[in-house]
Structures are given as C-alpha cells and as structure tokens.
Amino acid sequence: MREEVIIAGYGGQGILFMGSVLANSAMVEGLEVTFFPSYGAEMRGGTANGGVVISNKKIGSPIVTRPSSLIIMNELSMKRFYPMLKKKGTVIVNSSLVKEIPKSKEVKIIKIPATQFAEVLGNEKVANMIALGAYIKETGIFSLDSAIKSLHSLLIADKKVLVDINEKALKLGASDEY
C-alpha cells in the first residue's frame, strides 16, 4: 500500500497544518509516513504546498512527483498539480475557490465548497480540515479518529482553543451532509 498526496493552496490557507495532521494520523495508525512541505522563497510567491507519502513499507524519496491524490484549495494549484496526478487518482477540490474543474473519466473528482462551509462554521481558516475530512472519507486510508487524535496533539498551548472548531470541520468534511 502506498499513497502519495499533494496538498496545495495559498499561503494562509493552513496547507502545512493540513499536511501535519494528515501525516500525523498516518503515524498514529502505525504507518510509515513522510511529509515534505514547500519552504523558503517558494512561499514568498504566496503559494504553499506539500507532499505526503504514506506506506506500510519504508519510504524512499519524500518528493511526490506522481501523486495518487490531490487536495486542491485554490485555482492556481489546480493548474499546477492536476497534470501530475496519476491515472485513477483522486482530487479533493475546494469548489468555493476553484472554478475551472477539469472533467475526466480517468480520475475521481470530489468537489466540496470548503471555504463556504468553513465560513458557516464561523472561521474561514478551517476550510483545510473540511477538505481533509473529505479526503479521509474518500480514501479511507486512516480513521477519522486518528485525525482527531492528531488534532489534539498538534494544537497545543495557546492553540488548544482551536481544537473544537477544527474537529467540527474535520467531521463535517468526512460526513455525508453535503
């Protein structure tokens, strides 16, 4: 089993946090995992992305060049990463911000208006967890529980107050309510 995900969006959309939760959840389930976020000047341009590799075997390169899944939070990222997707891959797309969604029979496209949903929950910033919830539901690569556990261990100190809303968002994304 080997899953390679690219998550991508603007700086400010919590892309790196989403990656951490994703990777942490895999770890919690005892899987091998690497998460390689973009960094430095690349982020100055206002984009953020990262690659997560999850496997039950030792992982070689942490760089994802042929992702099996994408979590796409904005338009630009769609343009950049969609062409890299593997055949039969899955795309979770934040349909609040991504308008041009390609049609293809070869890949599975899950649209979720994450930003809108997040606004409803009261904080635009949790769009990332909504998308992640959708991803978990879709791929079933690990349990929602592990993700919630990860949330709790990653949001510490002054960020503890954010656990609730993030948890809600995760659950919303993973639910069938949309």
Partner 1 sequence: MIRIMHKILIKGNHAVVEGGIQAGCMAYYGYPITPQNEITAYMAKRMGEEGRVFIQSESEIAAINMVFGSSLTGARTMTSSSSPGISLKQEGISYMAGCELPGVIVNVQRGGPGLGNISGAQGDYFQSTRGGGHGDYRTIVLAPYSVQEMFDFTIKAFDLADKYRIPVILHTDGYLGQMYEPVLVKELKSDRKTKKDWILDGCKDRKPRMIRSLLMDEGELEEHNWKLNKLYDKIKMKEASCQTCFTEDAVVAIVSYGTSARICESAVNILRGKGIKACLIRPTTLWPFPEKTISTIAKKVKNFLVVEMSLGQMVEDVKLAVNGMSRVHFYGSPGGGIPETKVVVKKVKEIIK
Partner 2 sequence: MMDKNKIYRPESLTDVQNIYCSGCGHGIIHRLVAEIIDELEIREKTIAVAPVGCAVFAYFYWNFDVTEAAHGRPPAVATGIKRILPDRVVFTYQGDGDLAAIGTAEIIHAANRGENITVVFVNNAVYGMTGGQMAPTTLIKQKTTTSPRGRNPRYSGFPIKISEALAALDGTTYIERVSVHNVKNVINAKRALKKAFKIQIEGKGFSMVEFLAMCPVGWAMSSEDSVKWIEEKMIPEYPLGVIKDA
Partner 3 sequence: MKTKYKVIIDEERCKGCVLCVISCPRKILKKSEKYNSKGHHFVEVVNEMKCSGCNYCYIMCPDIAIGILKND
> Angle at Cα 75 formed by Cα 67 and Cα 23, nearest 5°?
40
- Using CB under 8 A, count the residues that bind partner 1: 23
- Of the candidate residues 37, 119, 143, 162, the single one contacting partner 1 (CB under 8 A): 37
How far apart (Å, rounded) are the C-alpha atoms in residues 156 and 138?
A: 28
Count other Cβ atoms within 10 Å, centred on residue 6. Answer: 25
CB of 160 to partner 3, least distance (A): 28
Q: By the criterion CB under 8 A, which residues form the site for partner 2?
A: 40-41, 44-46
Between 10 and 143, CB nearer to partner 3: 10
Binding residues among 115-154 for partner 3 as defined by CB under 8 A: none
CB of 38 to partner 2, least distance (A): 13
How far apart (Å, rounded) are the C-alpha atoms in residues 140 and 74?
A: 24
Q: Is 33 among the residues that bind partner 1 (CB under 8 A)?
A: yes
How far apart (Å, rounded) are the C-alpha atoms in residues 143 and 23?
A: 13
